[in-house]
């Protein structure tokens, strides 16, 4: 039987997709239809499969994002350490809610699943940098360093 | 491969080693409900309605994907199994938010039929953001109403593994999971032809033939 596209690639191609998506997103800021179609062609996968993988991972931005991406952990340990207050503080500083991008295109704000920094809860990442033990009062200063 | 002896609902059964509990039961006229399983395909085990009790096992087992073992004692209709299955059906119903009242096909919905067989009433779990998607009617062969989809993944499977077209995948994650085509867009007539296999396998009214005008 002819292997389906997915099977043909299960050995090598599929495994390469995720690093390729990450690389693309890193270089271009976000994954759009064009980059996903390109990778689909390159890895002989249907576009829907590439889209499915991309949208599964919170760290692969699919929609256009701001220059800096703020990702606040919304899992239980951070929640118990009052991540909600930190989220409120970011909202107030930037005037945007989670899922939105600021009008000047500087920041996108997202809530994500555990970022592995439970020991420093509440925690967030801005781009690749981790910020732990956050306080609502300290947010303004951190954001200022990206302005 | 040899045969093994198992006991299902008090009946001694001899089956080929490597069969699943579901296969053993079905071959002997014992019905176990399934929603996500396609006979002959690798089981995915996602819907959980096929759970059974296996003596000595800490948890319940999915009959569609658990192979039999020598001496297994299985209960497919014990009070515990029925109670758990009811909750599973109720959970599935909770996320199945289509307009079933106006659906002329509702009697073909395997989930509704299971709910009525197991006397599951209206689900009482609270949902913060109900899953809702507008119905897609642009494709001439398949109408997709994703609010009714229970994410059994059968359509993804038949399209990929049986028909080998691969036009469907699961996108997003968790509660937002959705069966997507292309860049999460309506099925186009170029991508999807009229094999209608997904409609045939969909246990709910999520996929149906468009009304002929
Ligand atoms: S559309 Fe139907 S077959 Fe496809 S995953 Fe949803 S319920 Fe299952
Ligand atoms: S039929 Fe076994 S898990 Fe769905």
Please tell me the distance in Å from B156's CA to the nearest CA on chain A: 10
Of all protein residues, the one whose alpha carbon is nearest to atom 3 of ligand 1 is: B202
Q: Transcribe B66-133 into DSSP letters.
A: PBP-TT-EEESS-HHHHHHHHHHHHHHHHT--S-GGG-TTGGG-HHHHHHHHTT--S-----SS----
Assess whether pLDDT exceeds 80 at residue B210. Answer: yes
Q: Cβ(B50) to ligand 2 under 6 A?
A: yes
- CB–CB of A46 and B169 under 8 A? yes
Q: What is the pTM of this model?
A: 0.81
Residue A76's pLDDT is what? 94
Q: Which residues contact A26 (CB under 8 A, 6 or more apart)?
A: none
Q: Which residues in chain A touch residue B160, judged by CB atoms under 8 angstroms apart?
A: 4, 6
Contact B137, A19 (CB under 8 A): no
Cα diameter, chain B: 57
**pLDDT at position A1:** 45
Reply yes or no on domain B87-208 having CATH 3.10.580.10.
no
- The structural domains of chain B, with segments of one domain joined by +, span 3-77, 87-208
In words, the CATH class of domain A68-144 is alpha beta
Residue B181: exposure state from Cβ atoms within 10 A (0-12, 13-18, ≥19): buried
Other beta carbons less than 10 A from residue B132's beta carbon: 9
Question: Domain B3-77: which CATH class?
Answer: alpha beta
Domain ranges (residues) in chain A: 5-54, 68-144
Nearest-ligand number for the alpha carbon of B136:
1
Task: Give the model's pLDDT for residue B138.
Answer: 87
* A6 in contact with B, Cβ within 8 Å: yes
B114 CA to centre of ligand 2 in angstroms = 13
Q: What percent of chain B has pLDDT over 70?
A: 97
The answer to whether B171 faces chain A, any CB pair under 8 Å, is yes
How far is C-alpha A4 from the geometric centre of its chain's CA atoms? 31
Condensed to tens digits (0 to 9), the pLDDT of residues B68-101 reads 999 999 999 999 999 999 999 999 999 888 777 6
């Amino acid at each position: 039987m002819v292997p389906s596209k997915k099977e043909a690639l299960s050995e090598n191609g599929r495994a390469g997709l995720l690093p390729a998506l990450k690389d693309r997103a890193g270089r271009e800021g976000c994954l759009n239809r064009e980059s996903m179609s390109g990778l689909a062609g390159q890895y002989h996968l249907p576009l829907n499969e590439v889209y499915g993988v991309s949208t599964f991972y919170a760290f692969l931005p699919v929609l256009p994002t701001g220059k800096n991406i703020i990702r606040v952990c919304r899992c239980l340990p951070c929640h118990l350490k009052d991540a909600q207050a930190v989220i409120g503080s970011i909202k107030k500083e930037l005037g945007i809610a989670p899922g939105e991008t600021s009008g000047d295109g500087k920041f996108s704000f997202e809530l994500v699943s555990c970022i592995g920094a439970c020991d420093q809860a509440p925690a967030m990442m801005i781009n690749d940098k981790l910020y732990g033990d956050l306080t609502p009062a300290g947010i303004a200063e951190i954001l200022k360093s990206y302005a | 491969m040899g045969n093994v002896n198992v006991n299902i609902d008090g009946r001694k059964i001899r089956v080929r080693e490597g069969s699943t509990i579901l296969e053993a039961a079905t071959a002997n006229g014992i019905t176990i409900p399934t929603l996500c399983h396609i006979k002959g395909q690798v089981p995915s085990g996602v819907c959980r309605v096929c759970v059974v009790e296996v003596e000595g096992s800490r948890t319940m087992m999915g009959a569609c994907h658990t192979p039999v073992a020598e001496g297994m004692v299985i209960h497919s209709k014990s009070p515990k199994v029925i109670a758990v299955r009811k909750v599973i059906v109720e959970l599935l119903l909770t996320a199945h938010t289509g307009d079933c009242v106006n659906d002329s096909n509702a009697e073909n919905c395997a989930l509704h039929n299971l709910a009525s067989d197991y006397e599951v009433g209206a689900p009482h779990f609270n949902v913060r953001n109900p899953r809702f998607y507008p119905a897609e009617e642009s494709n001439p062969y398949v109408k997709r109403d994703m609010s009714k989809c229970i994410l059994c993944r059968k359509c993804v499977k038949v399209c990929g593994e049986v028909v080998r077209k691969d036009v469907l995948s699961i996108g997003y994650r968790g509660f937002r999971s959705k069966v997507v085509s292309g860049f999460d867009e309506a099925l186009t007539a170029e991508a999807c032809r009229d094999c209608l296999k997904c409609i045939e396998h969909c246990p709910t009214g999520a996929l149906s033939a468009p009304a002929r005008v």
